[in-house]
């Protein structure tokens, strides 16, 4: 019995202590949008929640378009988009803030003699117009297209940048970056794509139009197979206290390490 | 005193009944859940279009949800694994139970147990790193990830269950049967195949059931070697199985979208398949054992 009483006391004390903390800033931050940003925003949200116990963070993976609509209609605090806003969207009173950049490396086997391709050629390769490496300066091998599964953010990004949406003739659709790299490393005729941060020396990253994918070339925009991760907010409405705190945190340099470890290139210094 | 004992008995019986009901409860829960979440998409897409549609493009601007390629791939893949795996497994079991010297038997049996304990992701990994490039080189094709690779991996994966269950069945054959056969002048090999194997028939059929069950339900290893492009099945083409169709897209499908619902419908189809296969094979087994009686 005595134990029980002690237990109750401890629990109630703990609860009081928790509410005490929450008084600083409490509330919730809701984000909605791009599925490609899941890893980045998830890692940031988790870290933010850990440091601000009174604030709950939610993320609704619906896609960039839905996220922009949601913030315009006031259904979430911050919209997430993995493309820049269109002019008509800005005209609706929306502001974009680039959170990070996502570089996608085009990878081939180490034995492949091709080192450089341009965006158009990559598009032709993936839609099946070019089917042999010898046509683009390589050896006489049928090109094997390795890609990601439908719904993957990397696939979505790659296809939208190369203009090959729903037209790619994949030979293999794998479910993780690691599998793509493994498959490309194991086949001299393979070509694949993977998030820049995860490319290892087991495969060769191609330069695009003469520019190698690195964090710097992604940042200065010269490497073209990249897209922005954008935070969308309403221009004339202030964010709630909790949402503002989250926004300030993720756009500060403090968040850079988390953004990098989630595979994207941070833009703030 | 006696009453007390009886009460105790009853209580224990009750406890065991409860434990048994846990399994039944799980099966019911899964069935009900799958049916409830699998029906809406089939309704929206249309049964015929869903089951016999040849094109799967779930994220295209004009999504198409036809799962015939997955169904055929699963059937071909499982059948292929049985064709390759059953003869090897079955003959190994005959050798182990009748011919092998004890020491060899111990070594092979422990190797088989070890094979059974290897997780499927390891089969997939080895398949991806060794088998897929091997097939590419051996058959001079651009890429080795194919139905053929999946069949080989599945055949190896079902070996342990086939060997173990057949072995148990063969060892349960009464020695008198074999002695009688030998005494009548049959050679040992004749005895094994004309007497022992027919006597163990139902056990061996059970081994095949287990093999089919494991092969059709395997996702991880297959996903890593089959290529996963939703093509109609061809031996050296990249293919997608029912299991991998569910597993590969589930993580990104948005909640409540038709895509996610369709994935549950695929799971429902897979579930019905496994039920059907089990029912058919159970029926065959039962008929066989009835005939023996």
> Backbone phi, then psi, for A148, in 5-degree steps?
-105, 170
At A208-250, the pLDDT tens digits run: 989 999 888 988 889 999 988 999 999 888 888 899 999 999 9
Does residue B251 sit within a domain? Answer: yes
Does residue B22 sit within a domain? Answer: no
Confidence check: pLDDT of B66 > 50: yes
- Comparing CB atoms, the residue among A143, A152, A175 nearest residue B223 is A175
Confidence check: pLDDT of B132 > 50: yes
Does residue B67 sit within a domain? Answer: yes
Q: What is the mean pLDDT of residues B47-57?
A: 91
Confidence check: pLDDT of B1 > 80: no
Contacts of B44 by beta carbon, 8 Å cutoff, 6+ apart: B258, B261
Q: What is the mean pLDDT of residues B162-166?
A: 92
Cα–Cα distance for residue pair B252/B224, rounded to 1 Å: 18
pTM greater than the 0.80 cutoff: no
Cα–Cα distance for residue pair B205/B162, rounded to 1 Å: 9
Cα–Cα distance for residue pair B97/B228, rounded to 1 Å: 40
ipTM: 0.75
Contacts of B60 in chain A (CB under 8 A): 165-166
CB A31, CB A71: distance < 8 Å: no
Reference A118, options A199, A181, A206, A203; nearest CA is A206
Does residue B170 sit within a domain? Answer: yes
Q: Which two tokens stand for residue B262?
A: 């369709």
Confidence check: pLDDT of A190 > 90: yes
Q: Do B60 and A166 touch (CB under 8 A)?
A: yes
Confidence check: pLDDT of B80 > 70: yes
Burial of B70 (0-12, 13-18, 19+ CB in 10 A): buried
Give the number of domains in chain B.
1
Percent of chain A having pLDDT more than 90? 37
Does residue B21 sit within a domain? Answer: no
Confidence check: pLDDT of A156 > 80: yes
Ordered DSSP codes for B44-100: HH-HHHHHH---EETTSSS-EE--HHHHHHHHHHHHHHHHHHHHHHHHHHHIIIIIS
Widest CA span in chain A: 83
Separation in Å, CA of A50 to nearest CA in chain B: 25
Could you tell me which chain A residue has the CA closest to the CA of B144? Answer: A187
Could you tell me which chain B residue has the CA closest to the CA of A156? Answer: B59
Q: Specify the 3-state DSSP secondary structure of A238.
A: coil
CB A182, CB A201: distance < 8 Å: no
Please enumerate residues of A whose Cβ is less than 8 A from a Cβ of B: 35, 61-63, 141-144, 149-153, 165-166, 170-175, 179, 182-183, 186-187, 189-190
Could you tell me which chain B residue has the CA closest to the CA of A152? Answer: B252
Q: Specify the 3-state DSSP secondary structure of A55.
A: strand
**How confident is the model at residue A10, as a pLDDT?**
57
At A33-76, the pLDDT tens digits run: 887 788 889 999 999 999 888 899 999 877 788 888 889 888 89
The answer to whether residue B129 neighbours chain A at the CB level (below 8 Å) is yes
Cα–Cα distance for residue pair B176/B181, rounded to 1 Å: 8
At B220-247, the pLDDT tens digits run: 999 989 988 888 999 999 999 999 999 8
**Within chain A, where are the H helices?**
2-22, 38-51, 64-72, 87-91, 119-126, 153-162, 177-185, 215-219, 241-250, 256-261
Q: What is the DSSP letter of B173?
A: S
Does residue B77 sit within a domain? Answer: yes
Burial of B159 (0-12, 13-18, 19+ CB in 10 A): buried
B166 to B113, B172, B279: CA distances (angstroms): 14, 10, 20
Which domain, by its residues, includes B161? 56-292
Residue B62 sits in a domain of what CATH number? 1.10.3720.10
Does residue B89 sit within a domain? Answer: yes
Does residue B34 sit within a domain? Answer: no
- B292 pLDDT band, cuts 50/70/90, is low
Could you tell me which chain A residue has the CA closest to the CA of B257? Answer: A62
Cα–Cα distance for residue pair A70/A46, rounded to 1 Å: 22
């Amino acid at each position: 019995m005595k134990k029980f009483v002690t237990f109750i006391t401890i629990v109630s004390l703990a609860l009081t202590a928790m509410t005490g903390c929450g008084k600083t800033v409490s509330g919730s931050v809701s984000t909605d949008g791009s599925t490609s940003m899941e890893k980045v925003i998830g890692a940031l949200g988790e870290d933010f929640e850990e440091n601000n116990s009174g604030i709950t963070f939610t993320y609704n993976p619906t896609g960039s378009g839905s996220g922009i609509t949601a913030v315009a209609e006031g259904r979430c605090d911050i919209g997430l988009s993995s493309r820049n806003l269109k002019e008509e969207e800005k005209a609706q009173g929306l502001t974009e803030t680039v959170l990070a950049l996502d570089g996608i490396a085009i990878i081939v086997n180490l034995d492949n003699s091709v080192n450089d391709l341009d965006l158009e050629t990559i598009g032709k390769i993936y839609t099946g117009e070019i089917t042999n490496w010898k046509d683009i300066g390589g050896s006489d091998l049928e090109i094997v297209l390795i890609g990601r599964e439908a719904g993957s953010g990397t696939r979505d990004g790659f296809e939208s940048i190369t203009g090959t949406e729903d037209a790619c003739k994949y030979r293999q659709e794998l479910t993780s970056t690691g599998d793509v790299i493994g498959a490309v490393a194991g086949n001299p005729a393979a070509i694949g794509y993977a998030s820049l941060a995860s490319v290892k020396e087991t495969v060769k990253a191609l330069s695009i139009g003469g520019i190698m994918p690195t964090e710097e070339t992604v940042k200065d925009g010269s490497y073209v197979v990249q897209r922005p991760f954008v935070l969308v907010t309403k221009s004339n409405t202030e964010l709630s206290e909790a949402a503002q705190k989250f926004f300030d945190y993720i756009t500060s340099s403090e968040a850079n390490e988390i953004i990098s470890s989630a595979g994207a290139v941070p833009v703030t210094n | 005193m006696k009453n007390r004992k009886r009460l105790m008995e009853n209580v224990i019986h009750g406890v065991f009944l409860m434990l048994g009901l846990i399994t039944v409860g799980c099966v019911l829960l899964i069935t009900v859940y799958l049916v409830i979440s699998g029906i809406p998409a089939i309704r929206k897409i249309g049964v015929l279009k869903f089951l016999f549609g040849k094109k799967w493009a779930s994220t295209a601007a004009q999504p198409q949800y036809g799962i015939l390629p997955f169904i055929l791939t699963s059937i071909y893949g499982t059948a292929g694994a049985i064709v390759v795996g059953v003869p090897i497994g079955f003959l190994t079991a005959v050798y182990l139970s009748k011919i092998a010297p004890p020491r060899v038997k111990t070594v092979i049996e422990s190797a088989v147990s070890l094979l059974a304990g290897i997780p499927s992701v390891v089969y997939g990994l080895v398949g991806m790193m060794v088998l897929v490039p091997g097939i590419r080189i051996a058959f001079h094709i651009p890429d080795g990830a194919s139905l053929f690779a999946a069949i080989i991996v599945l055949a190896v994966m079902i070996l342990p269950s086939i060997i173990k269950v057949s072995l148990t069945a063969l060892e349960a054959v009464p020695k008198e049967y074999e002695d009688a056969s030998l005494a009548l002048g049959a050679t040992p090999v004749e005895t094994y195949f004309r007497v022992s194997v027919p006597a163990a028939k139902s056990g061996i059929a059970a081994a095949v059931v287990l093999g089919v069950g494991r092969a059709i339900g395997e996702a991880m290893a297959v996903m890593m070697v089959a290529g996963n492009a939703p093509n109609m099945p061809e031996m050296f083409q990249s293919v997608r199985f029912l299991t991998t169709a569910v597993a590969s897209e589930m993580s990104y499908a948005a909640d409540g979208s038709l895509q996610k619902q369709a994935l549950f419908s695929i799971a429902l189809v897979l579930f019905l398949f496994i039920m059907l296969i089990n029912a058919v094979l159970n029926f065959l087994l039962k008929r066989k054992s009835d005939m023996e009686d």
